[in-house]
Amino acid sequence: MDRPVRRPTAVGRLLELLHLHGPLTRAEATTSLGLARSVVGDAVTDLAELGLVVVRQPAPSRTGGRGRPSPVLLPAPDGPVVVAAHVGVGAARLRVVRLGGESVGEPASLPVDRTAPAERTLAELAARAAELARGAGGPWVGLAVGTGGMVRHGVVRSALHLGWTTEPVQAEDLLARHLPPGVTASVAHECSLAALAERRHGAGRGAGSVLVLACEHIGIGGALLSDGPAAVGHALEAGHLVVDDRGPQCPCGQRGCLELFADGRALLREAGVADTGDAALVSDVLERAARGEPRPLAAARRVAERLGIGAASLVNVLDPDLVVLTGPLRALAVLAREQLESRLADSLVARVDNTRLTAGELHEPVLSGAADLAFDVFFRAPSNALGGNTGQTRPDGG
C-alpha cells in the first residue's frame, strides 16, 4: 500500500466490528458505527487494499426494487493471525486465532519450569508461538499472554505459581525481544482476559458490570469488568480476601485467605485425595462429584459454601450485576448452586440488586480473551502492523 490510510480510527473500528460480529452489509456497518457513509466507504476501500476485508457485491434483485443492494463485508479468509497463550502451573497453553475469530489448528502446550528464570520461560513461549504462527499462514500480528500474579501494564510483579517473586518481570519487554517486527506483545492478568471473553462471547453478554472468579489448581483470581465498552477488566486478588483471620497461614503472609478454603487444593483436601500437584486430579474429583459419588459431592458443596462467603463480600464492595464462575469453579455453579446462592444471599447488595450468579460458557476463556486483546492492539493501527502508514489519527474517530 503506497498511501496512508485516510481515516485510521474508522478503519480500526470497522475491522473490530467485522472481527466480533462477522459479515455485515456496508449499510449495517455504517449504522452500527454511527459514522458518515463516506467515512465508512473510505475505510472499506483501505481495508480491501490492505487485504483485510473482502467486499462481495450482492446479486441483482429479481423483484425490481428501488436502489442498489448494499455490498457485504467480511474478514479476509487468509487474514492476519494472533497467538494467544495462558501460562499456568507446569504448562502454558497456546492457540492461533485468525481475524474473524476462527481458531487455526488445535491448541498447543509448552512445559513451564517453575525453577527457570522468567526470561527463559518467555523466550521459549515466544519461540513456540512463532512456530505455530508460521504453520497457520497469513501475517502474524500479535502475541497476548495471560498469567496469574499481580500484573500491571505488562509487568508481572508477583506470580507465586511461576516462582516470579524476587523482582518485577518486564514481561512485555522480554517477549518483544524475541518477536519479529510488526508483532506486538501484550501481557495481562488471566482473570482480566477471562472477564473480557465472557463479556464479549460468553455468559456476560448483554450484562452490565461483570465479576469473574476463576480458579486453577492453586489460587483464586478475579476481575471486574464495568458497564460500558468492553475492555480488559480490573484484576482482583480475590483469593487473598480474608474469610477467617484465625485460619491457616497463606504464603501471602495473611491468615485464612479465601483460596485456602476454595481452590483446587482445598477441593482435593476435602475429598481426601492426596495432592501431587497434578491439576488433572481436580477435574477428576469434579467429574466424580457430577456422577453423584458422595464424598466428592460433599467436598464440592463445602468448597462452594466457602466460595459463596467470599463472593458475598466481593459483591458488597463491587456491586456487580453478574458473577461468573470459570475454570474448575464453573462446575460448582451446577453441582452446588444451592450452597453458592444461599451464601450470596447473605449480601444485602445481592438481595437488593438481585445479583445473579452463573457458570461461564467458554471452555478456555483466558485464551479467548488473550486473542481479543492481541487483535484490539492490532486494530489501533492495522496498516502499521502490516508495513503501511496510518498517518495521523483524528481524535474524533472520523
Contact 304, 332 (CB under 8 A): yes
Indicate whether 226 and 334 sit together in one domain.
yes
Lookup: cell for 117: 528464570
Residue 263 lies in a domain: yes
Detail the DSSP E strand segments found in the chain. Answer: 24-25, 53-56, 72-75, 81-87, 91-98, 103-111, 140-147, 150-152, 155-158, 184-189, 210-215, 220-225, 234-236, 322-326, 356-359
Indicate whether 274 and 187 sit together in one domain.
no
What's the pLDDT score for residue 30? 92
Indicate whether 175 and 213 sit together in one domain.
no
What's the pLDDT score for residue 232? 65
Report mean pLDDT in 10-residue bins for the chain, 398 residues: 62 91 91 90 90 83 62 91 91 94 91 86 94 91 90 79 76 91 91 91 88 87 77 81 91 91 94 87 94 95 95 94 92 92 93 93 93 93 62 34
Residue 34 lies in a domain: no
For residue 156, the SS3 value is strand
CATH of the domain at 87: 3.30.420.40
Residue 302 lies in a domain: yes
Q: Which amino acid is at 162?
A: L
Indicate whether 210 and 352 sit together in one domain.
yes
Indicate whether 157 and 233 sit together in one domain.
no
What's the pLDDT score for residue 320? 93
Do the strands 234-236 and 91-98 form a parallel or antiparallel pair, or are they unpaired? Answer: unpaired
Indicate whether 268 and 242 sit together in one domain.
yes
Which structural domain, as residue segments, surrounds residue 254? Answer: 205-359
Residue 59 lies in a domain: no
Residue 49 lies in a domain: no
Residue 15 lies in a domain: no
H/E element holding 303?
A: helix 294-318
Indicate whether 213 and 243 sit together in one domain.
yes
Indicate whether 216 and 260 sit together in one domain.
yes
Burial state string for 191-211 with b = 16 or more CB within 10 A and e = fewer than 16: bbbbbbbbbbbbbbeebebbb
What spatial distance separates the first Cα and last Cα of the chain, rounded to whole Å?
21
Structural domain count of the chain: 2
Indicate whether 268 and 124 sit together in one domain.
no
Indicate whether 259 and 133 sit together in one domain.
no
Residue 6 lies in a domain: no
Indicate whether 149 and 179 sit together in one domain.
yes
Residue 324 lies in a domain: yes
Indicate whether 148 and 285 sit together in one domain.
no
